[in-house]
Amino acid sequence: MRDSLSRRTFLKSSALAVAAIAATGTAASASPLLRGPDDEPDENVKKVLREKFGDRPIRAGHITLDVPDVAPDSREVPLLIESDLPMTADNYVKGFHIVVDHNPDIYLAGFAFTAAIGAATLDTRIKMRRSSHVRIIAETSRGDLWTTSRFVFTSLNGCV
Amino acid sequence: MNGDIGQGKIILPAKIARNAAFNIRALLSHPMLTGMSRDQAGIPIPAYFVNEVEVTYGGERVAHFEWSSGISRDPFVGFSLRASKEAPVTVTWKDNKGGVYTSSADVRFTTATED
């Protein structure tokens, strides 16, 4: 009897745990800019995003950010940005924005394009003050915003 | 590129097909100083960086970049345009001290098909 009771208790608690995980997963996917718990921007970053994009929703997806996990030189961190968003005459990527949470200028750079853009790709090199999330926001000609982020470890202050 | 400030360079692919996307790489020699570092005597080095970049293709503005000093020294940017015409691509960099630097390259279609 005792065995079956404890087994029942165990099953019940694990079912609750599974339900809790499922609920958390739903909340995470519904929340903008949030892919994992560590990806949540802090208040300073949120302020910059609000200044740039107002209350427009920023959803995760459609961007690939190729950047080293550990930057060998924080003065020159290479970024390669690509997107699988549509590229047609009336629906194209009209801009990329680079946001680095822990840099002196959180909004690092913006790149605006017209319908003359060929492919949704951007290649550049940035400085990083310390280990931080690097966020890319893509803006479409229809006004949709998509984001992705990567955490990049650095050693020295590259903001010289 | 530790020589003169403001030497621009635009690199286009060897083959460009009509109406295909092609990559442009634009490079400028510039120190891109944040204003947050000091020299050996401890005197702050003033900010000196490119804050605006404009790209035209056949005289038409096709891209515009807004930079902070967080873009690396000798700033590099690679992006893509659609080869709609045989015309020059011109990149103009402007820095916070009034410096304006320009570089151009001609888009010429090759006989090769889109690759």
Residue A155: predicted pLDDT: 87
Reported ipTM: the value is 0.93
Mean pLDDT (chain B, rounded): 94
Residue B115 resides in a domain: no
DSSP-derived secondary structure letter, A69: S
Query: Shortest CB distance from A103 goes to which of B62, B70, B81?
Result: B70
Residue B113 resides in a domain: no
Q: What angle do CA B3, B49, A119 make, to 5 degrees?
A: 95
Res. B63: pLDDT tops 80: yes
Res. B108: pLDDT tops 50: yes
- Distance from the Cα of residue A141 to its chain's centroid: 20
Residue A152 exposed, middle or buried by CB count within 10 Å (0-12, 13-18, 19+): buried
Based on the fold, state whether residues A11 and A68 are members of the same structural domain. Answer: no
Q: Give the number of domains in chain A.
A: 2
Judging contacts by C-beta atoms under 8 Å, the chain A residues touching residue B79 are 111, 113, 117, 121-123
Whether the CB of B49 is below 8 Å from some CB of chain A: the reply is no
Q: Give the number of domains in chain B.
A: 1
Strands A145-152 and A58-60: parallel
Residue A16: predicted pLDDT: 52
Q: Which of B48, B67, B91 to mutate to test the interface with A (most CBs of A within 10 A)?
A: B67
Residue A32: predicted pLDDT: 47
pLDDT of A75-102, one tens digit each?
A: 999 999 999 999 999 999 999 999 999 9
Residue A158 resides in a domain: no
CATH number of A95's domain: 2.60.40.2470
Residue A34: predicted pLDDT: 43
CA A34 to chain B, closest CA, distance in angstroms equals 25
Min mean pLDDT across A5-19, B44-58, B76-90 is at A5-19
